[in-house]
Amino acid sequence: MARLRQHDRSGELGMTLVELLVASMMSIVLLGAISSMVVSAMQTQPKISKSAQNVSSARYVLERMTRELRNGVRVDQATASKISFLTYVRHTSCGSTTLPSSATPSIKCEVTYQCSTTTCTRTEAAAGVYTGTARTLFTGINSSSVFCFVPSAEADPLTCGAAKAASEVTYVKIQLRLPDSSGSGSLTIADCASLRNAILLK
């Protein structure tokens, strides 16, 4: 009778049923964690996009404010939430949105920026007139304390603060505070401007 050949199976590798079940469970847990992270990222993405859009809009508004202030001749009203100043604008008439030809010089108009706890508006009118059609420039701030001035009423007049007298203001700091994407704090976007024409006239 022929002897059956015995095979040495010690070198063959494989997985037992228990090992296969453990590996499957670990894979499921790992996939669950990854899925949770992806879902969380997808839920926060709209908030981050909205926040980025607000920052971009705030920078545009800030750039416009500082540009007009730099062309300013004098400040007529100055509080933490409102500033009215005489400045040069490129419109055919004060309050108009029509641009003149390139050969036409800029005209002097009274520009008023007023900010509430949510919105900043801009009004343009004839010199010395502080009312008119207010156009909303920006919505999304969370503080009405936007402007500070030099010289100020502080102990050191060179410290930015409440205006000592509106007519003496030559430097304005603007701070727009935006809520951050988490809603727990705020992001401040700031810039400063000297009224160049006011300095030249003094």
Surface-to-core class of residue 152, CB atoms within 10 Å of its CB (0-12 exposed, 13-18 middle, 19+ buried): buried
Q: Map residue 58 onto helix, strand or coil.
A: helix
Choice between 50 and 140, residue whose per-residue pLDDT is larger: 140
Mean pLDDT of 74-101: 92
* Continuous segment of H or E residues that includes residue 51: helix 17-70
146 contacts 176 by C-beta, under 8 angstroms = yes
Residue 33 binned pLDDT confidence (cut-offs 50, 70, 90): confident
Q: Quote the pLDDT of residue 155.
A: 84
Q: Are 84 and 59 in contact (CB under 8 A)?
A: no
Which tops the pLDDT comparison, 49 or 79?
79
C-alpha to C-alpha distance for 152 and 162, rounded to whole angstroms: 5
Q: Can you tell me the mean pLDDT for 167-172?
A: 90
Tokens for 200, please give them: 């030249």
> Whole-number mean pLDDT of the chain?
85
Amino acid of residue 202: K
- Overall average pLDDT of the 94-102 stretch: 89
